[in-house]
Structure 1
Amino acid sequence: MRPRRPTWSTAASTWSSPPEGPASSARRPATRSWPSPSRSTGSDPAHTRRRRGAGKASAASPDVDPPGGQRSPRLPGARSNSRSEELTVMISATLISIGLTLSSGEAPSEQAPSPSGVRPEGTIAFASLAPRGWDLYAVEPASGRERRVTDHPLLDYNAAPSPDGRHIAFVTERDGNPELALLDLDTGKVERLTSAFALDDHPAWSPDGRMLAFSSTREPAEEPGRPWNAIYLLDLEDRSIRRLSPPGAADFSPSWSPRGDLIAVASGDGRPGGTDVWVMSPDGKDRRLVVENAGWPCFSTDGESLFVHRREDEWGIWKVGRDGSDPERITPAGVSAFTPHASADGKAVFAGIEREGHRQIARIDLESRAIAYLTDSPTDHWNPRSAPDGSLVYYHRQAPDTSPPNVEEWGSPDEARVRMLRLDGAFPAFSPDGTRLALVGGSFDRLDVMGVDGSDRKTLYQGSRRALFSTSWSRVGDRIAFARGPVFQGPEGDVDILLISPEGGEAVPLTDSPGNDGFPAFSPDGERLVIRSGRDGRKNLDLIGRDGTGVTRLTEGDWTDSMADWSPDGRWIVFASDRDGDFDLWMVRPDGSGLKKLLGGGGRDNHPHFSPDGEWVVFTSQRAGQSAEEASLPDQPQPYGELFAIRVDGTGLIRLTHNGFEEGTPAWGPRSTAVGQ
């Protein structure tokens, strides 16, 4: 295990790292060495996060057909009966070792013990739709004056002021992983409260200030495809942690009643129409349903009611008795409102409301229903919480000086000796010596190359918006292959594969025939490629020589086989296929023999890529469900995306990421290429 640095110096505070208490069984994440808190380190100023809802492309794949189109609004109490409401497959964050045998291709137990053996090693580069530059802010409701509360290049979010007003509990990614932290408002000191390799989210104070309830993905779900989230209690005196949620429950967004007798949670899958509000006692007992089709509960100041958000034709704020009686809509029709929090005086509720393309913080008067906007800057403002004396409302937003770096080194679990590199771009491919990366940048319209530390980034090929994807760097080093053409096309789509030198020059077509040809991967000797091709009316796999000759069909059937990668020893090709319904992981020999399923069950598994030693496969997956309420996050085309790794024999499943953001298109290079090593 790599040693953890005991303290961090930030622009505004000191960050200390005490261990968790004796009741915590959480794994300790590896500590990361980060650049100084400059928001422009290694960055390309042209790479800024696109506005929410402005045609954002998926981080996992812009070339997988949407299974069910757009989601339909849910009526009160309605349930989502389809798991194919999103686009394709994605990736996200954390890691737990799980042993499984999958010769039959059935879904493994998510809690099986990990087999003994060598841990995976190397460097995994991946795409992410995580926002950049979130800091905590506060606004004075009386004057509208805004102040910045934290200043750090990594994400700080979901602030919760303590009952005495002296501290802020919040979520921070300063360790390369979402943890709970405590900010002393008098001294500016920031202390880490949790250290599990998991998403620890949405802190909520007990009325006496001695405990924090929070949602965490630190234990796997009982079945693949379900969220790992459960509610835990952190004792701030001895730092012990215990679970409140019963087995099988997926709980988000806790809220403590003013009397301390109840904790309310959103329970379900985290998607619109997929969560209900429940209450339970602080020991986890006496659990009961309050209202269906609702989330983000917050008790009223007197504790007799709950405010929730729910979606009908649009999202709105509702008030309901703590026993579920007398539901009443607070916000008017035509106003999209989210994440309520009661004002300290009980006369209003604060919420995020969509206004002119951005989410703003607003105060809603409970008597007149008048809406007063407290923020108006051209960015999204998230998840308000009122200070106990009512003088401030806390929230998070992107800082104005944010510029995303080309590469961010990210956290990894102890079960894997891997370095994780989060990129400003997608579809990375390592050079043979592991010192450089090819990737698609901009709006999927540029093929770039850069050092693995983000340095010397340059564009090799400029294409059209959302028309470049899926790169592969020949293992002899002389060519980069990539796909060019419009995304989300059927088998007949006009998509071809091009080859270009890593030093630049003319891009030469490898394919130029009818049919959707994409997702190239070079053989180890660089003489052949496996590609996804639609030339016979179905998306299956072909083999093709690097000169465009010798095309042979590898797989064939009335389904989609795609996103293939060639093992380093040349013996196997791994790919994603929906031949059994959902996209699962399959392996086949280059001569077409030995077809077998590597992993299935729990939703979609896509974008497999071999480790440098050929013993593991990294992939994006839906199998960890959603890790936060979707309405509390920026728009994610596929918000269920997490990264996992599995042995090529189907054992040792490991979760590599934990967060609520879409992550995907991983590539696996040698360990020596990690940033800072």
Structure 2
Amino acid sequence: MVITGHVPGGPPRIPSKGLLGWVSHPRSPEVSMRTFALLASSILVGGFVSTAGPLDQAAAHPATLDTTAPSINPGVNGQIAFTSDRDGNREIYRMSGTGTGQTRLTSNSAADEDPSFSPDGRYIVFASSRAVVQHEIYVMNADGTNQTRLTTNDNYDLEPSFSPDGQHIIFTSGPGGGAGEIYRMNTDGSDLVRLTDNGGYEAHPVYSPDGESIAFASRPDLSSDWEIHEMNADGSGVVALTSNTIDDEGPSYSPDGDEITFSSIIAGNYEIYRMNVDGSSPLRITIQSSVDIQPTYSPEGDKIAYTSTQDGDYEIYRMNPLGAGLSQLTVNGALDFDPAWGPAYSECQGRAATITGTNGNDVLTGTSGPDVIAGLGGHDIISGLDGADTICGGSGIDTVTYADHEAALEVDLTGGAGDDGSDEDGPLGARDSIGTDVEYLTGGFGDDHLVGSSADNKLIGGPGSDSIEGGYGSDELRGSSGEDTLSGGDGDDYLLGEGSDDRLDGGEGSDFLVGGRSDDLLVGGEDSDSLTAGEGDDLLRGGDGDDNVTGGEGDDQLAGGAGDDNLDGGDHSDLFNGGTGTDTVLYVSRSTAVVASIGTGAGDDGGKADGVTGERDTIRGNVENLIGGAGSDTLTGNGGDNLIIGGDGIDSMYGLAGTDRLDAEDGAKDKKIDCGGDLDYVAIRDVIDPNGSSCSGAV
């Protein structure tokens, strides 16, 4: 292999490909980016270019890649693949992110270069001239095994790169000395599509992390400078991101897709820059007298690997995105260049994950196709979008969200055989599979059916009339604007209806149920529950256990059920039904006078003014106790054994028949304390209160 010296008027260069002499190229060190090589041991070649017609794809393709998932966050930092001629020929090597474990992956007499990892880190695609004079695209396992040729034609096929969903490979192609164009093919080499056709030179195409765009370097002819461009994934909508009179080359997206790093000679020497994805706010991040080129982000976005001549020859270095923390990764007298930083391999439900989080809190978003998403550590938010997705949360509290979906959902967190979820998870027909290590779930705009697992789940329905089941565990279930049905299941659950006419069923466990703004049904379970109505006319049923049942605005019906229950109707005309046990109606939140009687009025129809005067609450005879508020209340028991507590204010209390206990101790002088007939307990009162009438005789 041959490396030229300094070219008059320009920096030193590594030869690039072609048969008409080398040409400045955005991927070769110095004036280029990441693609350069000799096509034979004694031939200096240059200028990759592209085709004027379709390529011949008649080659056999013995290997089929299992890369089925997109990568919005490429995941945890893994190995770095690179090109080196340290063994006398350009070959592909790999090493750790700190430079250790440098291992040769290819071995032949031709030039192997332009390595790029698949989104799951299992494969490396590269260019090689091993079969013919010109380069073709090959793929191999990340350990160098199963090297397979993907293209067969008379052109130079260079600079391959995987799409984030692992379904496609883009690359540049063209005859020596011609105009270079960008092509796309499937990962087995089939279904070739030409993406650019402008007669100029296109180089170093790379997908954005969401797979929607492709950044590349372009120039109209050999005498022009290179500029960074971006286009849609189908080749449409080409826009220039840089525009000046010097070379801007080698784009690489940050993992979040917000920025692009590249090399530029704008300061008179090739340095590494960073800019927003729209081309704004370029920031210089290396300041060296050497040539700094070929930047590539680490999957976690916390590092940038690049090629530099800082020690006199081409070596690979690493820095953080601000240019600090410099570390040299390769040290030898050979050429080491073309770094490509891949993700560490992760699995989700037995499948290779290519959308991979980190050990921190990540936001992971899939594509419209089938995704395999692994959140790993931290509290992650995961959105698979459309397609049949396979999702794992990992450790931490993880959320799968369908907030962007309009169709009805069937989403199940219980897993099942093979963690395959129910028959229909995600949008109907998509059959998402969500692992049991996902705890939180958010529905979409449709009428969704969400099912929790044995973990402590948080399930949010979103708009639409949703059915939400918490299952085992202490769950939080939230409806929204539709008519929702929420079932807590086992465990101590929190259920919130929010919008329209909702049904909330706590199930087993000590549950907390809150209605919304309409007419809701709240049902407790076997344990001691708290039921709170919202603004509408609500029906609240406490069930077994000692329940706290609270109405809100509206005409509510409160039923305590079994157990010793506390019933508070709130505003408006309410109906209290204590059920079995010793039940209490409370007016402790009232500041105005209350007139409340247990079990009076014809048919208990509220003919007597119970509650705040004019509200006409109805208190059934199976309520035993009354507690007043801060006003001057009139509280009357029935023929049973009652406990009546006046509270603040000048109160009148009447026990009637039964063994009653009246409590007037509030620091104020009350008006009347009358325990009524039968034997009663001694009244609890202040010294200034009137004596209790008939309040004696009980044990």
Q: TM-score range by the shorter chain?
A: 0.3 to 0.5
Greater RCO, 1 or 2 (C-alpha within 8 Å, sep 6+) = 1
Greater strand fraction, Structure 1 or Structure 2: 1
Higher gyration radius (CA): 2
TM-score by length of 2: 0.37
TM-score by length of 1: 0.38
